[in-house]
Structure 1
Amino acid sequence: MRKTETTVLNRHIEDGILWLTKNNPQDNFGMSVAMLKAMGEALHSISGQPDIRAVVIDAGGRGFHAGAVAVTELQPRLEDLGRDDFQRLVKMGHQLGSQIAALPIPVVGIARGGALGGGLELLLRSDFLYCLDGARFSFPEVTLGFVAAWGGTQLAARLMPFRRAQEMLLLGESISGVQAAEFGLVTGSFATPELLDGHLRDVLTRLRHCSPTSVQWTKECLGAAWEGSLDLGLDKEMEAETETMDSGDFLRGLDALGSGQIYDYSAGKAVAKKSR
């Protein structure tokens, strides 16, 4: 295991997983300028580490991700903020969000206690997002004179039933982890930390048996489903299948299947299937 630590973000790599844990209780584990920078640098470093096969984003303390603390840091006084600052703030959130979404490997967000505002918006860029049943989620921006402009309006309206998204975004309503899972805002919620951690371990183990090339191209196809027409999505599938099969991973997967095993793409060998 290799471990490094920055001021606001703990990072360590274990068994091919990059764990990023927010370590800024002074900002209530929110998205400060320093956090945005540290997380961006951590994600950028992945390009030079091909052994990393997934990222997990978590928060310290009770696991609650607060919002865009950065708004208080752009000028000495809030009254001094101008249009350039407003646009800079949005751009910072958009850049990190796009960086998370563009990763070729799976990103797992963990919001044990929930998330609000900018912290929630960036977590929504994850491929999987898990929480506890008692977690709380909200976009309080309208009650504070802001807009959920780090992707919140667009992502919530796509992930949730539109009427539910309207209620959250236009009223600043808070929902529970159970409701967030029911509405599709998160992937799943769990009654206890032990159940959540157990499911996370299972997900990370199952990813070992997924071809990294297949995962990368499947992510691109899913992105195309959001961004364009069906025809464009089908064109992306053609490209994806061609590139993925050309990697030869399907030969390894089918060979393992034929022998009653499953291929471990991290270990580079076929292994015995484990009952679930």
Structure 2
Amino acid sequence: MSLSQDPPALRLHVDGPIARITLARADKLNALTLPMLQALDAACEQLERAHGVRVVVLDSDHPQAFCAGADIGQWGPLTPAQMWRSWTRMGHRVFHRLATLPQPSIAAVHGMALGGGLELALACDLRVAEPGSSFALPEASVGAVPGWGGTQRLTRLIGPGRAKHMVLRSARIDAATALDWGLVQEVVEAAPLLSARVHELAQEVAQRAPEAVQLAKQLIDIEAGGLSAETMAAGLAQALPNAREGTESFKAKRPARFTDL
């Protein structure tokens, strides 16, 4: 079924115990939009109730891109308040929902996985890539920071030093490096084989006792929470007009005249 606009930019297909979420905005390298996030949210809601589904595969129908990230044309013009209200909050919520699905999830990555695209793959439990894949969190190069959990999930996977190498330098790494660092679990030699290998892995997981698999996933993820909402909120608040008003009124020793966002 389709879970986005017409034509659908995200599709959900269920085949027995295996569900497949496919990014399908090929003309924009699957750059994520708010409707796509809403569609992913709807797909996760459906999968949470799909007791017969045991594994979720996340892939792309673009031959050269998994996902180029969030569509900068949509979020670039937003004010800090609008960014927090829409993009940041929704992305965090939807990616967290994907990460905490009862079923294990596998990202099939070919081509680029950049910014929000890498964060999307990081929200899955396993990642399999083809040799031409590349991975990056390049937000600092456009004056932004990873906003959908990338710093936390990436750090837990590859360690703080390597995460800083990628984030602070906007460095892009290839599939071989991603495998060596533990960002992906396997590299498969060709794109057609990637789909076959991911399906094979999904079938392996689906053949295990579903309750045991889901409980084990939750046990492993117990220590994986704790995205720093306090730090994010503090940074956002400082960027808003009321923060300047508060500082100015304090210096002027007058009552603050705060306005609605």
TM-score range, shorter chain: 0.7 to 0.9
Distance 1:82 1:202 in 2: 45
Report deviation, 1:30. 1.5
Is 2:223 the counterpart of 1:225?
yes
Work out the CA distance in 1 between the residues paired with 2:9 and 2:225: 33
Give the fraction of aligned pairs with identical amino acids, expressed as a percent: 29
After TM superposition, give the deviation of residue 197 of structure 1 in Å.
2.8
Counterpart position of 1:56:
57
Query: 1:270 maps to which residue?
Result: none
Does the 8 Å CA contact 2:2/2:10 hold for their aligned counterparts? no
Amino acid at match of 2:97: Q
Q: Aligned pair count?
A: 221
2:230 matched residue in structure 1:
none
Q: What TM-score results when the alignment is normalised by the length of structure 2?
A: 0.79
Which position in structure 1 is the counterpart of 2:67? Answer: 65
- Tell me the distance in 2 between the aligned counterparts of 1:222 and 1:5: 30
The match for 1:158 among 140, 144, 156 is: 156
Greater share of strand: 1
Q: Deviations over 1:130-188 (max 9, x none)?
A: 11112111111000110012111111111113221111000000100111111111222
Q: State the alpha-carbon separation in 1 of the partners of residues 83 and 2 from structure 2.
A: 33
1:83 aligns with 2:80: yes
**Residues 55 and 206 in structure 2, CA contact (< 8 A), matched pair in contact too:** no
Query: For residues 29 and 14 of structure 1, do their structure 2 counterparts lie closer, same or farther at Cα, with a shift above 3 Å needed?
Result: same
- Report the counterpart of residue 246 of structure 2 in structure 1: none
SS in 1 for 2:141: helix
Q: Deviations over 1:85-116 (max 9, x none)?
A: 12122111101111011111011111111300
Where in structure 2 are the equivalents of 1:119-158 lying within 5 Å? 119-158=117-156
Mapped to 1, the partners of 2:186 and 2:194 lie a distance apart of 9
**Which among 92, 97, 100 is matched to residue 98 of structure 2?**
100
SS at match of 1:217: helix
Instruction: Write the distance in 1 (CA, Å) between the matches of 2:112 and 2:184.
Output: 10
**Kept after mapping to 1: 8 A contact 2:57/2:202:** no
Counterparts of 1:154 and 1:5, CA distance in 2: 28
- What is the CA-CA distance between 1:15 and the residue it aligns to? 2.4
Q: How far did 1:124 drift?
A: 0.2
Question: 2: distance between equivalents of 1:126 and 1:135?
Answer: 17
Which residue does 1:46 correspond to in 2?
A: 47
In the other structure, the counterpart of 1:274 is: none
Given the superposition, is the C-alpha separation of residues 189 and 24 from structure 1 closer, same or farther in structure 2, using an over 3 Å criterion? Answer: same
Alignment match, 2:250: none
> 1:53 offset after TM fit, Å?
1.3
CA distance in 1, matches of 2:105, 2:96: 13
Q: Tell me what 2:12 maps to.
A: 11
Show CA shifts across 1:199-248 (max 9, x none). 213212211321111111111111113349xxxxxxxxxxxxxxxxxxxx
Letter in 1 for 2:170: G
Find the counterpart in structure 1 of residue 166 from structure 2.
168
Structure 1 residue runs of 5 or longer lacking an equivalent are 229-276
1:32 aligns with 2:37: no
The residue identity in structure 2 corresponding to 1:217 is L
Q: Secondary structure at the match of 1:203?
A: helix
What does 1:185-204 align with in structure 2 at a 5 Å threshold?
185-204=183-202
CA distance, structure 2, for counterparts of residue 8 and residue 32 of structure 1: 9
Give distance in 2, aligned partners of 1:25 and 1:4: 15
- What is the root-mean-square deviation in Å for CA atoms of aligned residues? 1.8
* Structure 1 residue matching 2:106: 3-state secondary structure: strand
Does 10-19 or 172-181 show the bigger shift?
Answer: 10-19
Secondary structure of 1:13 counterpart: strand
Given the two structures, how large is their TM-score scaled by the length of structure 1?
0.75
* 2:109 corresponds to: 111
- Answer yes or no: is the 8 Å Cα contact 2:18–2:206 preserved in 1: no
Greater CA deviation, 21-30 or 146-155? Answer: 21-30
